[in-house]
Structure 1
Amino acid sequence: MDAGVVHWLRPLWLWALLALPLGWWLAARRTRRGEVWRGVVDAHLLRHLLVVEAAPAHRRGRWLTGAAYVLAILALAGPSWRQVEQPLWQSHAPLVVALDLSTAIDRRDLPPSRLAQARAKLAMLLQQRRGGQVGLVAYAGDAFTVAPLTADANNVAVFLDALSSEVMPVDGQRIDRAIGWSAKLLRQAGFTQGDIVVMGDHATDADVAASTQAATAGFNVSVIGVGVATGAGGGFDEASLRRLASAGNGRYQRITMDDADLRGLGVLAPRGTTGAGDAESGGRHWLDEGYWLLPAVMLLALPLFRRGAVVAILVLALGWPLGAVQAADWWRRPDQVQHAAMETATQRYRQGDFAGAAQGFAQVDSADAHYNRGNALARAGRYQEAIRAYDAALQRAPGMADAEANRRAVEAVMKRKSPPGGKPPAGKGRPEAGDGRPGERGSAGADQGAGDPAVPQEQSRTSPSSQAEGAAPRPKPTQGADAAAQAQADAAQRERMRQAVAQGGQPSEGAKPGQGDRPAQTETAAERERRIANEAWLRRVPDEPGGLLREKFRLEYQRRLRQGGSSR
């Protein structure tokens, strides 16, 4: 319901209202203490001997105190008069599917093949399962992880077409190892309960024992029989699969063309899931409205403070919104404030806002700040200002090698005749450079070759005081997008070097940033031999999912053999 009578979320607090009459009685008793003297002292003398509070003020204070107390208790009791929708979230039981990828999966008793049917079943499971993490394990003579537990089914589906018996390094049908490895994945993900679904054609006593052990640990083992019970070979033993599921406190279903087997196992709706529903199902909850009473409680309590406190509190309340931002800096040392400004400017620099970065660096008067400001101005094409910024850095730190090198680089760019717009052609006369991001130095980065007239040699510089106790840590170079850009730049550089070698050792234009107008250096014999070896190694790396799985499983299996263990 949306409205109605008041509902108390914490009704036990209402018992505290019984303390109110007791408080009134104690206050009245204290007042009556003065009545004792009226029987032994004359009335005209008594008024000079007793100190009596002003009656109106005294009674007003009692009433204000009582009203504030009652409202506070009512607020604590949680009054509510409406309900709202509230989806209730519970943890979904995770699922690990262990698929048989031995040579038996290639049999064609299930048209067109067992493998095709198993792939289709996995695709149906990933598409129709509602919530919960899913993982995929392949097993033959040993068990291997195809995809770890993930909430994104697409991360598992990407490997479906690559599943085949050819990716397995050793043949066999070790379901026991598949169950043990699946339980290990669940434990490593922090789960104490979960489901394991084995897709196979028969089970041994060792497999049944492993299923029992997994069930004892809290992981139910269900089975999908992949095969046809013809009785004429084929290795399909439905009775052993039923024992396997029974020992694992799970269910057994033979593979079907529709989703009846998945529904029979109960894996499409993970255990423990709860969605939004009606009030009876817990999908609606009472909204706590007690906070509406708090302003009244505070107003009633204000006169109870000391004289002058009310005015001070009101002034503070009115002035707080204006000073909230400035107050944050009151608790930080000057070096921490400067470091925060440097951090903000560095982030703007990395985002390509060089003008904003220059303004941010200008807020700090240090050699490092002026150095970084010069880098930002150079990237923005404001060379004269960049030179002045480098000069300011050198004034504060004479002999700063990075500032001197970048100043010379900017001067060299200014000396060349620039096309309209003030930017010379990309790739010509580029000074020796980093990647154009504060925080990294001397690496060919993503910004090189992008047509910027100058990419000075840059290094993240923070004032020494910013490293003092309590200061924020130094900014670190960004990963992810920068790493991808780095790889792209490296690939482009290797291609330019290959073209240069093919042309007789003359690099293409812009092939080596940092050479300026000097003649490019030719590749030495040792460098050429190393490059060819690297290219040959890169050609051996598989670039499709099947090859990746095959190589991954092979290396993992060899590692296990060296360690003398198995997947369990």
Structure 2
Amino acid sequence: MNPAALLQDFAALHFLRPWWLCALVLLPVLAWWWRRRQRESSAWHAFVDPHLLPQLLESRGDRRSRVAPWLAALGYLLAVLALAGPSWRRSEQPLWQSQTPLVVALDLSSASLAADLPPSRLAQARAKLATLLRERNGGQIGLVAFAGDAFTVAPLTDDAANVALYLDALQPDVMPRDGQRASEAIEWSARLLKRAGARSGDIVVLTDHADDAAINAASEAVAGGYPVSALGLGTEAGTVYRRVDGSIANARLDSASLRKLAANGNGGYAALSGDDSDLHALGVLEPRTSDEVGGTGSGFTWRDEGFWLLPPLMLLALFAFRRRTGGTLVLVLLCAGFPLHSAHAQGVWRRPDQTEYARIQRGNEAYRKGDFKAAAQQYDDADTATAHYNRGNALAKAGQYQQAIDAYNEALRRQPGMADAIANKRAVEAAMKRKQSQSSQGNQQQKSQGDQDGQSQPQSGQPSQSRNPQPNDQQQQSSKQDVQQQKNQQQQAQDTQAKPQDAKAQQQADQAQRERMQRALEQARKQDGKQPTQEAARARETPEQRERRLANEAWLKRVPDDPGGLLRAKFRLEYERRVSQGRAEE
């Protein structure tokens, strides 16, 4: 090893937890206590003069008694140094970066319908928000709508597509009260960030002007760590628009007030443009990195080397045993030199529930691929109600009905009253009965066919058909028609005989399937370990059940999806609650 490198490492030696070194002060105290304890352990010290003790006492254990305190002191020293965390090397380690969240406050007053930004300010604002949600490079984002009051459209989330779902529903009629109180929007946005636990975050207000209350609110928000920027809606010339009460008003862009708002909020200002230059100017497409984390993606951290002191400390601990210390030491050395096989971390470090969960996941994957035998084997390794239930589904798909019923019974034994297991067990029992019924029908058909063949064989006293080597065409055709007519009559008789049994089995299967679907709809279970349930249910559907299911799905698709109505009802309830609490004006 390079001596220069050793000297450099020694020069960099320091302790990550140096306060543990204060424990070394107790070492002299412990030594004094040890010495006193040794003196008091012998009763002769109280009755015999010290100069006579060597002649009266045996000195067989003196050597060990002299070494033991030093070994104990050495072990104490190593333990304290290990706890102090000696370090002399650094290693590169990726650092977690926290991107600042963004809350956008959109003006949904009646002035947003002004047409100075054709086709309207609101249409341009929604298009700009769609671009922001699509082009923003990570970071949480939330959406707030304001008019006479402010409300949360979408809380802070990493899924920008979830916020985009509400854009088309943003209309002035969803707001319970008209107005342009940007101050309420800023205060509500800051509260939203604070509730999410964000120490820093950006607020962008989309409106056409800012009053004194909004400017003061921006100053308070930036004091809490939330800078406020403004994105101007409209033009300097402005245009007229109709308010909710039917009156006519003029709306125009007041850039000066918005610039003042951005200045007091330590943010930026940009007027709404047709390209992305306004978003780039505000810097909202690239989220800022939180100040408490730093701007680098990786760094160096000092390595705790205290674990190197643990092996000698463990060896010293062996001498704490009064007897057979040497034999124990030899046993430890033999175990250290014995070639051990490498153990899989999966079986060593995982808890039993984690191992069973991993097996169920592997079984689900095999089930989706259609390898039902492998899926059943994976489920069999996990001894839980869910695993046995899924094993029953896999065995049923493989056609092993009796084994599937046994698996369902195991699931019910571990979880009595498991609705899905009960329903699937009934369906498999009905399917097994149908299979047995079809098998018995096939045997009866074969037996009937054998009887028919036996009747057509030549008997004594009757002319054999084979004795006519060259029958004419009319005779052959007549013979074929008679045989075919006889077969059709026998088949109809067999169908008539088997129809009651088949219908009864089919009714049982339909009843079991209906009960299972009803329970599934009531419970709405979507656990990850039960993913094969829906696929197995669809595979056992009859044509009538499949047609009924498709009809229900088509009916559900015709149910109107009105996000605007949801927002309108949500905002109305929130507004009434605020009025009742005295936090809003009627």
In which range does the TM-score fall when normalised by the shorter chain?
0.5 to 0.7
2:210 corresponds to 1:203: yes
2:319 corresponds to 1:303: yes
Out of 370, 374, 398, which is 1:380 matched to?
Answer: 398
Q: What is the DSSP-based 3-state SS (H/G/I as helix, E as strand, rest coil) of the residue aligned with 1:227?
A: coil
Counterpart residue number, 2:509: 432
- 1:245-299 CA-to-partner distances (Å, cap 9, x unmatched) read 466x443513265777556656544362434649xxx932211111111111111
Alignment root-mean-square deviation, CA: 6.2
Counterpart residue number, 2:438: 416
Output the CA distance in 2 between the equivalents of 1:42 and 1:202.
99
Counterpart residue number, 2:310: 294
- 1:105-133 CA-to-partner distances (Å, cap 9, x unmatched) read 45565578645654565456546656542
Output the CA distance in 2 between the equivalents of 1:156 and 1:107.
24
Output the CA distance in 1 between the equivalents of 2:385 and 2:537.
31
Q: 1:485 to 1:552 in 2, by over 3 A?
A: farther
In the TM superposition, what is the alpha-carbon distance from 1:512 to its structure 2 partner?
2.8
Q: What is the DSSP-based 3-state SS (H/G/I as helix, E as strand, rest coil) of the residue aligned with 1:432?
A: helix
Does the CA contact (< 8 Å) of 2:390 and 2:532 recur in 1? Answer: no
Output the CA distance in 2 between the equivalents of 1:488 and 1:381.
12
Counterpart residue number, 2:253: 236
Question: Which residues of 2 match residues 353-368 of structure 1 at below 5 A?
Answer: 355=373
Higher helix share: 2
Q: 1:265 to 1:62 in 2, by over 3 A?
A: same
Q: Point out the more displaced range, 406-415 or 137-146.
A: 137-146
TM-score, normalization by structure 2: 0.58
Counterpart residue number, 1:76: 83
Output the CA distance in 2 between the equivalents of 1:49 and 1:373.
80
Q: 1:560 to 1:392 in 2, by over 3 A?
A: closer
Aligned partner of 2:565: which letter? E
In the TM superposition, what is the alpha-carbon distance from 1:194 to its structure 2 partner?
3.9
Q: Point out the more displaced range, 282-291 or 12-21.
A: 12-21
TM-score, normalization by structure 1: 0.60
Aligned partner of 1:100: which letter? D
In the TM superposition, what is the alpha-carbon distance from 1:431 to its structure 2 partner?
5.4
2:517 corresponds to 1:443: yes
- 1:347-369 CA-to-partner distances (Å, cap 9, x unmatched) read 95897376567668989999999
Question: Which residues of 2 match residues 144-155 of structure 1 at below 5 A?
Answer: 144-155=151-162
Q: 1:73 to 1:226 in 2, by over 3 A?
A: same
Out of 229, 234, 242, which is 1:227 matched to?
Answer: 234
In the TM superposition, what is the alpha-carbon distance from 1:78 to its structure 2 partner?
1.5
Counterpart residue number, 2:496: none
Out of 271, 274, 282, which is 1:255 matched to?
Answer: 271
2:144 corresponds to 1:137: yes
Q: 1:412 to 1:86 in 2, by over 3 A?
A: same
In the TM superposition, what is the alpha-carbon distance from 1:200 to its structure 2 partner?
0.6
2:558 corresponds to 1:539: yes
The percent identity for this pair of structures is: 41
- 1:132-186 CA-to-partner distances (Å, cap 9, x unmatched) read 42111233455454432112334335655x3764774676534344335434533
2:35 corresponds to 1:13: no
Counterpart residue number, 2:545: 512
Does the CA contact (< 8 Å) of 2:133 and 2:160 recur in 1? Answer: yes
Q: In terms of Rg, which structure is larger?
A: 2
Question: Which residues of 2 match residues 163-562 of structure 1 at below 5 A?
Answer: 165=171, 168=174, 172-191=179-198, 194-205=201-212, 207-208=214-215, 211=218, 219-230=226-237, 234-245=251-262, 249-255=265-271, 257=273, 267=284, 268-270=286-288, 272-273=290-291, 274-275=293-294, 277=296, 283-308=299-324, 311=328, 348=363, 352=367, 355=373, 377-383=395-401, 385=403, 406-416=428-438, 429=506, 432=509, 442-443=516-517, 477-479=525-527, 510-512=543-545, 538-542=557-561, 548-559=562-573
Does the CA contact (< 8 Å) of 1:87 and 1:276 recur in 2? Answer: no
Output the CA distance in 2 between the equivalents of 1:371 and 1:284.
50
Output the CA distance in 2 between the equivalents of 1:381 and 1:244.
72
Question: Which residues of 2 match residues 23-102 of structure 1 at below 5 A?
Answer: 46-47=53-54, 49-50=56-57, 52=59, 54-89=61-96, 91-102=98-109
Does the CA contact (< 8 Å) of 1:245 and 1:252 recur in 2? Answer: yes
In the TM superposition, what is the alpha-carbon distance from 1:91 to its structure 2 partner?
5.0
Output the CA distance in 1 between the equivalents of 2:389 and 2:143.
53
Q: 1:129 to 1:562 in 2, by over 3 A?
A: closer
Aligned length: 472
Does the CA contact (< 8 Å) of 2:359 and 2:381 recur in 1? Answer: no
Q: 1:307 to 1:49 in 2, by over 3 A?
A: same
Output the CA distance in 2 between the equivalents of 1:346 and 1:89.
30
Q: 1:304 to 1:246 in 2, by over 3 A?
A: same
Output the CA distance in 2 between the equivalents of 1:271 and 1:212.
22
